[in-house]
Structure 1
């Protein structure tokens, strides 16, 4: 497990330019339209509420599109990611758009040291972030350390039930193939592609990942001193997580084609640091 960061960073460094060039991330829309906010952040707006004037940080921000979206809703945003290639793409994007967002290259577990303790009104974590971390308890301590008293965490993530499903089946069955609960050792994947359409052939295809049960996540936040203020489960995610088994909705989300009520595909969680 000691080299999981190196292995995963190589994977993300290679994918960041491909993601930036893909139509799925829509970087040109951010450049062409100063009011444009991506579909992921738009989905969250009813639960986010008014973020104008809040000092916010987006942990594991990748190439920064959601960070910029939050900035365009009025928050004063920073982004942090461990991939230098991803941070380079994020900085290039704000150079082109003119958005006032600063990006920092660092491991998420080092965020308090890099950004400062108690500096933020809002900590945001988006889809596909927690699975790269071996300890959700340590992550929760980082979140608590970043927040000001009265500040809040907002997270929308893939549901741990979704991460536990076998997405490689070709017989149409939805089956559990991977751990639901956090394990000491990573689940190791070797997948040649990525979640956007690209003709890029990748050399670094191995990743080390961890699932974290919903109860483990909530408990970690409680133990870090945060108070849960909201938890909503959704039957959709922003990408086709189970290829061939999902249908895209009119807002760009994907849900099971057959009886979507069977699967909690993602969730939104909010918590506050007592003032």
Structure 2
């Protein structure tokens, strides 16, 4: 069954990757025209990310690689990994177009340590909208630990699990409609569109998604041998998560009303221990 869920999600991302690359939301042309251009996501991360020049980094679930490329422009030696072959091919073309040496690898995230080797990375980066595609956050945390060298760092910003629980179709109230905690079976959504501006009509419309509570995520990382060094909750996300109820400024979307009632995203950092706790 797990393979069936993964295959459905991969078909969805394979079909959407070209539309995302063509959309102004991903600003591919800006990357080609401006050697200093960074994605909105990475620019938001900069105050917490710090100096990454010279670090060997891997971006898990990198999609078409614009965030990966942005990290490389900040001086890191980056590898991007994604399970969508179409996404990886587009990421390689973008990197070649801007003359950047970024390695992109097609692999399921749970096989990342097999595909890339163990213990070789100073930085594991995971960006917005990645964790909901994973059925098992503990297995993911173990993968992160296997990739990192001792004292290596995980940097994660993602949608807040409370946000993922909200019914996005309700505009009259903030209503919890979906599980906050990880479930064995995914929530299935049938959506004909995507989160960027496009006229493309898609045929693969069903997604399979899992939420993971903050406690589950932190516990998984601690059990995998990482120590938490940062947890910041934000009142914004880089897409219109609740349509019709948000406004955008500098690439980040916030609630128009009652913005103090709902965490929309979070940044988490953790460092791999030199040795396991006794």
TM-score, normalising length from structure 2? 0.97
| Deviation per residue, 1:202-232 (Å, 9 max, x gap) | 0000011000000000000000010000000
Residues 57, 123 of structure 1: 8 Å contact kept: yes
SS class of match (1:237): coil
| Deviation per residue, 1:106-148 (Å, 9 max, x gap) | 0000000000000100000000000000000000000000000
| Deviation per residue, 1:172-211 (Å, 9 max, x gap) | 3211110000001000000000000100000000011000
Partner residue, 2:200:
200
Query: Residues of 1 paired with 2:9 and 2:236: CA distance?
Result: 26
Partner residue, 1:75:
76
Residues 211-250 of structure 1: pairs in structure 2 closer than 5 A? 211-249=211-249
Query: Residues of 1 paired with 2:40 and 2:11: CA distance?
Result: 27
Query: Residues of 2 paired with 1:7 and 1:228: CA distance?
Result: 33
| Deviation per residue, 1:74-115 (Å, 9 max, x gap) | 100000000001001100101111111010000000000000
Query: Residues of 2 paired with 1:7 and 1:39: CA distance?
Result: 28
Residues 172, 245 of structure 1: 8 Å contact kept: no
Query: Residues of 2 paired with 1:95 and 1:67: CA distance?
Result: 13
Query: Residues of 1 paired with 2:50 and 2:211: CA distance?
Result: 29
Query: Residues of 2 paired with 1:99 and 1:259: CA distance?
Result: 43
- 1:184 and 2:207 aligned: no
Deviation, 1:259, is 1.6
Query: Residues of 2 paired with 1:235 and 1:179: CA distance?
Result: 21
* Structure 1 unaligned blocks of 5 or more: none
Provide the aligned C-alpha RMSD in A: 0.7
Partner residue, 2:14:
13
Query: Residues of 1 paired with 2:253 and 2:45: CA distance?
Result: 15
Query: Residues of 2 paired with 1:11 and 1:274: CA distance?
Result: 37
Partner residue, 1:255:
254
Partner residue, 1:107:
108
SS class of match (2:167): coil
Query: Residues of 1 paired with 2:17 and 2:30: CA distance?
Result: 18
- 1:266 and 2:265 aligned: yes
SS class of match (1:197): coil
- 1:29 and 2:30 aligned: yes
4+ residue runs over 6 A deviation: none
* Structure 2 unaligned blocks of 5 or more: none
State how many pairs are aligned.
Answer: 273
- 1:123 and 2:101 aligned: no
SS class of match (1:179): coil
Query: Residues of 2 paired with 1:265 and 1:77: CA distance?
Result: 28
Query: Residues of 2 paired with 1:39 and 1:161: CA distance?
Result: 23
TM-score, normalising length from structure 1? 0.98
